[in-house]
Amino acid sequence: MKTERQISSGGVVFRRINDCIEVALIAVKGGKVWCLPKGLLEKGEGLARAAHREVKEETGLDGKIIKLIDYIKYFYAHKEKSETIRYLKIVYFFLMEYTGGNVTDHDSEVDECKWFSIDEAIKRIEYEDEKEILKKAKGMIFRK
């Protein structure tokens, strides 16, 4: 089986409401899976620019990039025409402070976008590696 590499970028958008830190999650797969916004880099696009674009498209939110949180990597397989291709996907996540926008303005790839307290988001998020990204983001926010 052929293996190809894919590079994606995404973000953890946060805001402060009184003493609470909230982060935006997206729901996919019929609204059943909560995860972080992310997507493939476009030709000639850098990691931070792609993160900003993907977050804006998938959440309807704008944010100022603070810092790279970390990256995750995983394999998945996809059947294309007559062959199955295995992908090594590497996703870089950036911490982003909310500056504007509305969660109802997300694109059609996303079923819903919603704000959660950071602790609730950590409980709700589907994928373990993204849960770790959220925990790291929480640590970074409270160290600021």
Task: Give all domains of the chain, ordered by start, each with its CATH number.
Answer: 2-143 (3.90.79.10)
State how beta strands 2-17 and 83-101 pair: parallel
Model confidence, pTM:
0.94
What pLDDT score does 144 carry?
Answer: 59
Q: Which has more pLDDT, 78 or 133?
A: 133
Q: Which of 9-18, 25-34, 81-90, 97-106 has the lowest mean pLDDT?
A: 81-90
- Burial class, 85, CB count within 10 angstroms (exposed 0-12 / middle 13-18 / buried 19+): middle
Residue 79 pLDDT more than 80?
Answer: yes
Residue type, 62: D
Mean pLDDT of 42-51: 96
Mean pLDDT of 17-29: 95
Mean pLDDT of 6-19: 95
CA-closest candidate to residue 107, choices 40, 3, 28, 35: 28
What pLDDT score does 2 carry?
Answer: 82
